Amino acid sequence: MKTELRYKFLSRPRFNRYLNATANNTHQAKKLYNANIRLAQAFHPILSQFEVVLRNSLNIVLTNHFADVDWIINQKNGFMRHQSLRQSHYFLKKSVQKTENKLMARGIPITSGKIISDQTFGFWVAFFLSHHYSLVHGQSIHIFPNKPSAENRASIYDKLDNIKNFRNRVNHCEPLCFSGPNLDCSFALDIKCKLYNLVEWIDPDLVPFFGSIDNIQSKVDQIMRI
């Protein structure tokens, strides 16, 4: 990409960070910028599959808890409307209603499956916030039967929230290869470690599948060679 196009459409401040990290070597900065994109690309498979595993695990636990395969529809008038959720603006209920409205506008039948698959990563992470967690009687933690005893709702929420925020950085094309001004992928690798820990605590047999779609380390190695 020509320099004028890069500055116009990618922005000069965004690219300047890569220039600073490469001692103003434009060629190296371009290589680093592209390598950061490839690192973000490498994270997509494990992030997306972790989201699928998280939501399906929670759906199983909550289906059993409420003895209702349509809990996500029916609990709009259950725990999702509890007065204690006023401060959080009834986030779960509004998220479900938003999907229902979207489906109705398109003439698509409303089913629990469609609503579940349409919810955001943040929707599922919210089940580990204390105000939602207590209303489902702590059922959320049961998706991690293999967690260490020291891990609790709060520590797991912190890990999930870190992963969610990192996922947002990936999706918004933010740099993943810096610590301050320095070239450093340790934060990205720490997120990967947290994700694998959570997967293992859900079911260790899932770990080989995640390993089979993971080429993050090779992309980190490419960045550190620039």
Which pLDDT score, from 0 to 100, does residue 8 have? 84
Which pLDDT score, from 0 to 100, does residue 166 have? 98
| Coil, strand or helix at 136 | coil
Pair of tokens at residue 4: 């004028």
Identify the CA nearest to 224 among candidates 28, 72, 17, 55: 28
pLDDT in tens, the chain (226 residues): 777 888 788 888 888 999 999 999 999 999 999 999 999 999 999 999 999 999 999 999 999 999 999 999 999 999 999 999 999 999 999 999 999 999 999 999 999 999 999 999 999 999 999 999 999 999 999 999 999 999 999 999 999 999 999 999 999 989 999 998 889 999 999 999 999 999 999 999 999 999 999 999 999 999 999 8
CA dihedral 192, 176, 156, 141 (to 10 degrees): -70
- The whole model's pTM is what? 0.94
Q: Return d(Cα 152, Cα 133) in angstroms, integer.
A: 12
Bridge partners (DSSP) of residue 179 are 182
| Coil, strand or helix at 183 | strand
Q: CB–CB of 223/32 below 8 Å?
A: yes
Q: Where are the alpha helices (DSSP H) in the chain?
A: 3-5, 12-21, 26-66, 71-74, 91-105, 112-118, 121-125, 130-135, 153-171, 186-202, 207-212, 216-225
Match 């929670």 to its residue by tokens: 58
